[in-house]
Chain A
Amino acid sequence: MSPEALERELDQLHAAAFGWALACCGGDRAAAEDALQASYLKVLDGRARFDGRASFRTWLFAVVRNTAAELRRRAALRRLLPLAVLGATPDGQPDPATVLARADGTRRLAAALATLPRRQREVLHLVFYQDLTIAEAAEVAGVSLGTARTHYERGKAALRKLLKAEPE
């Protein structure tokens, strides 16, 4: 894929990729921006190479997911160091500004999603938010189709229960 075509694809998928990065970073906007930027750098400088086996979107989402996980691990390590007090490190929690900007319904959904296990949250996001099939979600999450289906069903049931339990 030529650099121009790559940039065009990234531009088209930017909004969706940002939503996915937000989901991977637990709603932390700053962490999502970092993860997305690091992912774009990986794609543009060739550290992540698209081989055409999956769709470009599925592949990009997998890159974003892996990058967010790397950044999360690094942030966790930094929090353990004594110097962590000098600079705020993303803690994987939704930042207050993002929470405030949400409408009541979506705020409840985001809060309920935050309580789900990561895999379930990811699969639900990919299927409902990104309109991917469960097979594509499995590809992005790096799990088998059966596992993805299980996460999807369990996550959906848990989410319904949480939303029903939440007061209107």
Chain B
Amino acid sequence: MAKQHVTTTVNNDEFEFLCEPKASMLDVLRDELNLTGSKEGCATGDCGACSVVMDGRLVCSCLILGVEMEGKSIETIEGMADGEKLHPLQQQFLDHAALQCGICTPGVLVAAKALLEKNPDPTEIEVRYWLAGNLCRCTGYDKIIRAVMDAAKEMRAS
């Protein structure tokens, strides 16, 4: 089957590409657009390592076809820092050592940012439920939760 032409916006940049109909958005981001921050963990929507925001909704990019990106606006981990200046969540993750191997980290950060945009003052329980779809096999989650709570506090104060 012929590839399909897709026009989409990723991190405020417009992209055009030819897409295999079976390719996932994650495949397109990594292999076509060279945005390799989003990771493939399970490819079945269980681990959250490929989390991105599409038209304001947190989603797993492995569960969406590349051709479904047509006309959509997508935010990935690559759009999170402002040039060299890290997002408060990114800085808090470093300060708290909330990552070890780092594979889950881009997805966790994207998911946490989506939460704080919706709810700037979440309880710890709300953070834990929101991030239940982001699996981390290293940290035991505690440092991640503390980093998110502190980033929320910092962002509310600024």
- Bind each other: no
**A interface vs B, CB < 8 Å?**
none
**B interface vs A, CB < 8 Å?**
none
